Amino acid sequence: MSDGFLGYVRPDGRVGTRNHLLVLSVTGLTGPSARRVAATLRGAVFAGTPYHGGMIGTDRDLHRRTLAGLAGHPNCGAVLVLGADPPVVEEVAAAARAAGTPVEAVALDDCGHDALTLVDVAIRRGAGLLKALSRQRRVAVPLSGLVLGLECGRSDPSSGLVANPVIGMVSDAVVAAGGVSILGETVEWTGAEDRLAARATDPALGGAIVAAVLRREALAVAAGVDLTGTNPGATNIAGGLSTIEEKSLGAVAKSGTASVAGLLATAERPARPGLHVMDAPAYAPESLTSFAAAGATLMLFATGVGNSFGAALAPTLKITANPDTAARLPTQIDVSLAAVFTGEETLHDGAARLLAAVRDTASGATTFAEIFGDGEDAFSRLGESL
């Protein structure tokens, strides 16, 4: 393993950093049952939507896209799809099949509408899937096999100054190697959108990036949300941030200097390698779920004051450059860049350390969010249910 990592090569050619049994509930009606199944089977990870019935239009499209993305995720060695209506269950199971992932599908309607029967059947089928997936082995793969998700939460001045630029250097390294990196949280590009657009591989893409930011800004204004009052807010100003451009450039620094190869819709899977920006919510549970649905296999999550949340399906490296936070949260912070912040280490040294941690984690080293199970998928909504 020269400069890549050890991963699970899937039938569709994508590479997993983990080998989970995903227990995926496609409707809220089977959520509790699916959690029961996942709790019984060691090695199972639960994901599920609380919704289904009555969804329409683009709201429903986003839901189906998210479910399909999770079902076909490269970090799944197998998938157990649970739901109520057989056609709905089948549609999601087909996404797993398209990825070549072994899948079992169980619908309430086929179990006499008895949730206890569904749980029994699912546990037995899940056990068989776990036995089979445990035979899969990691092999040496190049760094291009990685799909990174870039996130920040509970930021403070150390985030924009150190943590995010260092993440950007690692993102650049993965992109240069032929991998994929995804920046989301559209509202945090506000003030930096021209800079992002200038890095687009063509002017039309640049225009689309700017349009995405303006659309989300208009949403806020229409709802009476005062973006100027909070960007930068009093705490940000006391902390040293002077303008929204500076705040957003600090956030966008996570994306490094690479050209932007594409603009993705929420939960949309990229069609080519490179750095992509995703038009998606900033809220971490929704943001991370959107990245996972797009196929992100490892998340880099910068925090200033601390944030324990991670993705359920993909290892999430929790990173801070705040020395107080790193000292206070030794069982939350996976990689401390405090030495860069105190000036004892350069940004490049910090990036080398973070890249080593990325390769290590991609190869199987665990993270605190995984140890504590501190993450759960959140399905974004765009509208009302009938």
Interaction of residue 235 with other proteins, rule CB under 8 A: no
Nearest distance from residue 265's CB to other proteins, in Å? 25
380 binds other proteins (CB under 8 A): no
Neighbours of 3 (CB within 10 A): 10
Closer to other proteins by Cβ: residue 231 or 290: 231
- Determine, following the binding rule CB under 8 A, whether residue 250 of this chain makes contact with other proteins: yes
What is the CB neighbour count within 10 angstroms for residue 209? 25
Q: Determine if 240 is a binding residue for other proteins (CB under 8 A).
A: yes
How far does CA 373 lie from the centroid of its chain? Answer: 15
Tell me, residue by residue from 171 to 190, as one string, x for binding to other proteins by CB under 8 A and - for no binding: -------------------x
**Residue 273: which residues within 8 A CB-CB, separation 6 or more?**
144, 175, 178, 179, 180, 261
Other CB atoms within 10 Å distance of the CB of residue 361: 24
CB of 150 to other proteins, least distance (A): 16
- Beta carbon of residue 324, minimum distance to other proteins (angstroms, whole number): 11
Q: Decide whether 20 or 254 has the Cβ nearer to other proteins.
A: 254
265 vs 347 by CB, closer to other proteins: 347
Of 28, 142, 239, 273, the one binding other proteins (CB under 8 A) is: 239
Half-sphere exposure for 315 (CA within 13 Å, toward CB):
23
Helical ranges in the chain per DSSP H: 31-40, 57-71, 86-98, 115-133, 157-158, 164-176, 193-198, 203-222, 227-230, 234-238, 244-252, 284-293, 323-328, 338-341, 347-362, 368-372
222 belongs to the binding site for other proteins (CB under 8 A): no
Comparison of 56 and 238: residue with beta carbon closer to other proteins: 238
Q: Report the half-sphere exposure of 107 (CA within 13 A, side-chain side).
A: 12
Answer for which of 110, 120, 245, 376 binds other proteins (CB under 8 A) is 245
Binding residues for other proteins, total number by CB under 8 A: 29
Q: How far is it, in rounded angstroms, from Cα 182 to Cα 57?
A: 26
Least CB distance to other proteins at residue 228 (A)? 5
Under the binding rule (CB under 8 A), the answer on residue 150 touching other proteins is no
Site for other proteins in 326-355 (CB under 8 A): 341-344, 346-347
Binding mask 258-277 for other proteins (x = CB under 8 A): --------------------
Identify residues 60-119 at the interface with other proteins (CB under 8 A). Answer: none
**Helix/strand/coil for 330:** coil
Contact between 211 and 125 (Cβ < 8 Å): no
Q: Which of 321, 326, 318 is nearest to 342 (CA)?
A: 321
Residue 242 contacts other proteins per CB under 8 A: yes
Residues that bind other proteins (CB under 8 A): 157-158, 161, 165, 190-192, 195, 227-228, 231, 237-240, 242-246, 249-250, 253, 341-344, 346-347
